[in-house]
Structure 1
Amino acid sequence: MTDQASSPSDELAQNAELQKAVIVGMQPDQPRRVLDEAARYAKLLGVPLVVAHVDVTRFVTYEDPDGYVHSAPIDLNIEAGAAEFEAVQAAAATALKGTDLKWTARQLVGDPALAIKQLANKLDAQLIVVGTRKRGLGESIREFFTGSVAARLAHRQHRSVLVVPLEDAVPDDQPEIWTE
């Protein structure tokens, strides 16, 4: 099951059906392991899975009293975020095909940690699952300025956060974690 663009009343009805869900943050081309772990926990808990993609090229302009979020693009090429969301939906549909797991996909906007936190509050989520970042100088610089989504989630809300490694573990005898 996947969401398309929804109206405020549709979103309220969907939120009621998704209470206590497991939320997984996904990006295009993210290793499948993150989604597999989230699906495993959703099955264990007997709750739906919400696949969340955050479009960082958009920001929240205002939110209606019923919780419906209105957004605007940072730049005028809004098709990039839509294409990323479609890629995430397709990857989730492929990975979850044949399972009896109830799932949906949600497109969020803005700061990833804050957007996922807000969705978790709306759904009273039981667990948030995110992947680690990739190793490398570029990612280290990005994290320096924006912070780790997992760390920010862990410190800014009360739910458990499962952080799934995206790459093989760094050997204990390797002094530097990020070698680039």
Structure 2
Amino acid sequence: MSDPEATAVPQQAVIVGAIPDQPSRVLKEAARYARLFGAPLIVAHVDVTRFVTYEDPDGYVHSAPVDLDIAVGEAQLKAVTDAAASVLGSLDLEWSVRQLVGDPALALKQLADQSQARLIVVGTRRRGFGESIREFFTGSVAARLAHRQSRPILVVPLEEPAADDEPLWPDG
């Protein structure tokens, strides 16, 4: 693993969008494709509680918090880094963790452009009424990526699909 604050972005990488408590299946699939391509893996966490204020000509991004409690974003990055180390630590694979800020689809697209990514991997949304409402207002990250850039996208289901007779939004 390399330093998450390193300025050099690995080239021709596979990028995986990661969130805290995401099933390890997403990281495992991303690692599998990175190994198939012989490419480094970038585990990217997007802190949606921060937004980009401006970007220096050398590529350094300045951001500001939406909420003054920046500990939330730091805790989320630590959870993603710990999960990545747990899943990827024993693999013969070059990987790093990057903290991005702002809109997930736009941040992942920009990272993909910087790294000339071979593939972007994201998980589906979690099932449930709350997630459906969130997606209604913010849109699907995978769908927004598919419409905004030219790289292939792998969407990994987080859970087994619902059976035809199973309610989409279970009670409780």
TM-score (ref. length: structure 1): 0.91
The answer to whether the 8 A contact 1:23-1:49 is kept is yes
2:45 and 2:139 map into 1 onto residues whose CA distance is 18
The answer to whether the 8 A contact 1:25-1:130 is kept is yes
1:152 and 1:174 map into 2 onto residues whose CA distance is 30
Tell whether 2:22 aligns with 1:30.
Answer: yes
1:2 and 1:174 map into 2 onto residues whose CA distance is 46
Map 1:133-148 to 2 at 5 A: 133-148=125-140
2:20 and 2:166 map into 1 onto residues whose CA distance is 31
1:176 and 1:116 map into 2 onto residues whose CA distance is 32
Tell whether 2:169 aligns with 1:174.
Answer: no
Tell whether 2:153 aligns with 1:150.
Answer: no
Tell whether 2:49 aligns with 1:57.
Answer: yes
Tell whether 2:92 aligns with 1:105.
Answer: no
Q: Deviations over 1:76-110 (max 9, x none)?
A: 00011011001100110111122110000000000
Q: CA RMSD in A?
A: 1.3
- State percent identity of aligned pairs: 67
AA matched with 1:165: P
1:175 and 1:97 map into 2 onto residues whose CA distance is 37
The answer to whether the 8 A contact 1:2-1:89 is kept is no
Other structure's SS at 1:91 match = helix
Other structure's SS at 2:53 match = strand
Q: Deviations over 1:28-69 (max 9, x none)?
A: 110000000000000000000000000000000001112211
Map 1:5-154 to 2 at 5 A: 5-6=5-6, 11=7, 14-15=8-9, 18-154=10-146
2:165 and 2:135 map into 1 onto residues whose CA distance is 21
* Correspondence for 1:2: 2
AA matched with 2:42: V
AA matched with 2:3: D
TM-score (ref. length: structure 2): 0.95
Stretches of structure 1 lacking an aligned partner (at least 5 in a row) = none
Could you tell me how far 1:179 is from its partner in structure 2?
Answer: 4.6
2:118 and 2:106 map into 1 onto residues whose CA distance is 17
Q: Which moved more, 1:37-46 or 1:58-67?
A: 58-67
2:71 and 2:3 map into 1 onto residues whose CA distance is 18
Stretches of structure 2 lacking an aligned partner (at least 5 in a row) = none
How many residues were matched structurally? Answer: 171
